[in-house]
Amino acid sequence: MSSDPKSAPTTDSFDVIVIGAGPAGYPAAIRAAQNKLSVACIDEWKNHDGTATFGGTCLNAGCIPSKALLESTELYHRAHEEFAVHGIKLSGVGLDLAQMQKRKSGIVRAMTQGIVALFKAAGVTGLHGHGRLLAGRKVEFTAHDGSRRILSARHVVLASGSAPMPLSSTPSSGWEQPFVTL
């Protein structure tokens, strides 16, 4: 066998392979492992800094970061606009956007590290890279470094996630290209 990691793929076998580690994929992988099945969960998400992580669009760039920032802005609004009605007087209320972003990033980091811990506790094999469904209950896994493996499974779960959709009623935001492709 060649020492080149991009040479012919090796084969690994699992009871279940889940393609996608977002809010549908990672719980499916954990539940299958809790039922004593051997499980691999593949996700290709990469952060802007190039680090690979589980959680998909929702956890890394969509729902969770948005909710964290919305909570911060709601608290600012309430302190600025509503507290005086309750007899609470504040002066010098201001925004520290860098701190808001830091808090949001900390929440996302804690949640993605939580998925890794849950995978470890349940015995899920987490794989960072691209999964491509093949015939015969096989999946071609290409790691971020370009190395390839052919995985086989009795069951394959497709939980490949979401892609932003442009709205005709709003100007282009530059999000027309999907984060995740199959």
pLDDT digits (tens, 9 = 90+) for 55-86: 988 899 888 999 999 999 999 999 988 998 99
User: Between β-strands 138-143 and 125-134, what pairing exists: parallel, antiparallel or unpaired?
Assistant: antiparallel
B/e letters for 144-167, b = 16+ CB within 10 Å, e = fewer, are eeeebbebebeebbebbbbeeeee
Query: Is 53 among the domain residues?
Result: yes
Query: Is 147 among the domain residues?
Result: yes
Model confidence, pTM: 0.78
Query: Is 165 among the domain residues?
Result: no
User: Residue 3 — very low, low, confident or very high, per pLDDT cuts 50/70/90?
Assistant: very low
Report the domain count for the chain.
1
Per-residue pLDDT tens digits for 132-147: 999 999 999 999 999 9
Per-residue pLDDT tens digits for 103-132: 999 999 999 999 999 999 999 999 999 999
Neighbours of 21 (CB within 10 A): 31
What CATH number does the domain containing 143 carry? 3.50.50.60
Query: Is 167 among the domain residues?
Result: no
50 vs 58: CA distance, rounded Å: 18
Which domain range does residue 95 map to? 10-158
